[in-house]
Amino acid sequence: MARKGWTERFLVWVALVPIIVTAITKRRGVPPACNDHSFVDALPANASIERVDFVESGNTYGEGPRNLMYPIQPTNLPDLCAVTIRVKSSPSSAYRLGLFLPVNWNNRIITHGNGGFGGGINWLDMGAGVRYGFAAISTDTGHSSTTGDVSWALNNPEMKTDWGWRSLHGSVEIGKKVVEEYYKKKINYSYYSGCSTGGRQGLKEVQISPDSFDGVLVGSAAWYTSHLNTWVSKVGTYNLPLTAPNHINTSVFPAMAKEVIRQCDLLDGVQDGIISAPDACSPDYTVMACDRPGVNQSACLTVAQIETAKKAYSNYRAAGGVLLYPGLSPGCENQWSQVLGQNMTSLYGLNYARYFLYDDPDWRWQDYNDSVPAYAARTDPGNATADDYDLAPFRDRGGKMIMYHGLADGLVPPKGSDLYWDRVVATTGGGNTTATQAFFRYFAVPGMGHCGGTAVDAPWNFAGPAQASSLGNDSWSVPGFRDARHDVLLALMGWVENGTAVDAVVATTWDKAANASTPVRRQRPLCPYPAMAKWDGKGEVDAAGSWSCGYVTFIYSSYLISLCLCVTK
């Protein structure tokens, strides 16, 4: 009888737990649903709640130094419920996803991408997304590491698959269910925002699951995994070994960048230190030749070094002439140290070969030959490459995509995005640019580096992925310009939800490029490729209103002979 009485009392207490939890949370101002029990019905059998926390307005959230990829936490957050979920993706792998569920929800979700080979929930970008009112989602891609650390992939094909596509895909599917269970409402719209590897993740998800997103924002996409990472090794070999006569020291890169601006700047008709048409310029480094009278001997180039520079700009082709990956564009020399300035090839390429391709930590950059990209294309570990150019299923369900790339990107060549665009136009658009632009627009960003920032005072900030965090861990949108004219995410929302096509987005920079509290230095419209911005010839050069979008025809020999600018209204 005593045992029976104890059992009855226990069952009563179990029944009272949800009531007690609700009562406590109400007293503290915590949403009643912000607890472990609220999410159980939304989770698949292979997923479990790791943590649930209520974050009061003005506070911070994240995992600090334990999050190797994103140790900086967002601050000054709105009231929200933070959820971490662990998903067993195979017998030998698992990934985590994080969610920010704001009290003041806009009935939309946004999924944020990652960077490089890094593993960690991107709480920092989520902090920017949640300030718009989104429920924000991010995955750790199935491991914990910094951006260039790929050792986690050694002999782990399932972990490679998580990084390649599975963790993001699963996070979107689970995240949607969790959000709707939490709010007891259907999601109105689903968005994506990611740059570099994050750009690749977004393109890959669109290709394998066209209904995951209504709007997709993709920056500087490292989409061609099998070819880009092998190109990174190839281009690195051009400048190695350090003792070779062809090696260019990193100390010379700034002088090369200055010379390229001198030669290429005027192609857009404005001398402003920004190269807007890099593909129309072929830098002539003989003007920096060490045997030239009066040349600064501390920043000059030998014949062998000039040849190295030419190789860096050249497209990487197989023996039969087939394009493997485009080369660097003039204007990115300030970022050459990313792939040409080390005592071995970049870790992005070297570690990709060691831990993804060959599962051989002893593989050396000296072992590189042109069989490597062929093997990478044939095996594509993790099925990471996002090279399906048929986006018709995404288009036909009403999806909209904006892609952009900084023309001064020295890590992921902007011509790689040109290549993806051209192949989508051919495959999905039937060769018709206008038809493709009905759902997909691509914006080149003159003077911007990889994903953001500038070395030449170019307008670079338009609320692209991770750009807010460049301005501070409590930043979001474009400070002082939170509208669809200056914020590409808001512009994308207007296109998806109201049918307002994105014909231009104004980019901004400040006197101190990463400090939005300083005065605005420049603003300029970004135009849908292949159009570009043209100055009206009379207005203030640094004012956006003095520029319009049009088309450019170049006639040149060497780096410049003449130029015709024709603007279409």
Which tens digits make up the pLDDT trace of 71-105? 999 999 999 999 999 999 999 999 999 999 999 99
Structure tokens at 33: 């649903």
Which tens digits make up the pLDDT trace of 343-357? 999 999 999 999 999
CA distance 216 to 236: 32
CA distance 240 to 217: 37
Q: Does residue 15 register a pLDDT over 60?
A: no
By C-alpha distance, which of 480, 466, 548, 476 is closest to 508? 480
More confident residue, 220 or 19: 220
- Residue 8 is predicted with a pLDDT of 53
Of 229-238, 389-398, 543-552, the range with the lowest mean pLDDT is 543-552
- Who's near 497: CB < 8 A, 6+ residues apart? 189
Report the chain's mean pLDDT, rounded to a whole number. Answer: 93
Burial 151-188 (b: 16+ CB within 10 A, else e): ebbbebbebbbbbbbbbbbbbbebbbbbbebbeeeebe
Cβ atoms 277, 268 nearer than 8 A: yes
Which tens digits make up the pLDDT trace of 127-161? 999 999 999 999 999 999 999 999 999 999 999 99
- Residue 28 is predicted with a pLDDT of 54
Q: Rounded mean pLDDT of 178-205?
A: 98
Structure tokens at 65: 């130094």
Confidence of residue 358 (pLDDT cuts 50, 70, 90): very high
Which tens digits make up the pLDDT trace of 516-569? 999 999 999 999 999 999 999 999 999 999 999 998 655 443 444 333 343 333
Q: Rounded mean pLDDT of 500-508?
A: 98
Q: Rounded mean pLDDT of 222-237?
A: 98
- Residue 558 is predicted with a pLDDT of 44
CA distances from 290 to 260, 301, 331, 340 (A): 17, 5, 22, 20
Share of the chain above pLDDT 70, in %: 92
- Residue 559 is predicted with a pLDDT of 40
Cβ atoms 397, 254 nearer than 8 A: no
Q: Does residue 117 register a pLDDT over 80?
A: yes
CA distance 357 to 132: 40
- Residue 29 is predicted with a pLDDT of 72
Q: Does residue 202 register a pLDDT over 70?
A: yes
CA distance 523 to 224: 32
Q: Does residue 273 register a pLDDT over 70?
A: yes
CA distance 79 to 32: 13
- Residue 13 is predicted with a pLDDT of 44
Look up the pTM and report it.
Answer: 0.92
- Residue 561 is predicted with a pLDDT of 39
Q: Rounded mean pLDDT of 288-298?
A: 95
Tell me the chain's radius of gyration from C-alpha atoms.
25
CA distance 307 to 381: 34
The DSSP bridge partners found for residue 191 are 110, 215
- Residue 268 is predicted with a pLDDT of 87
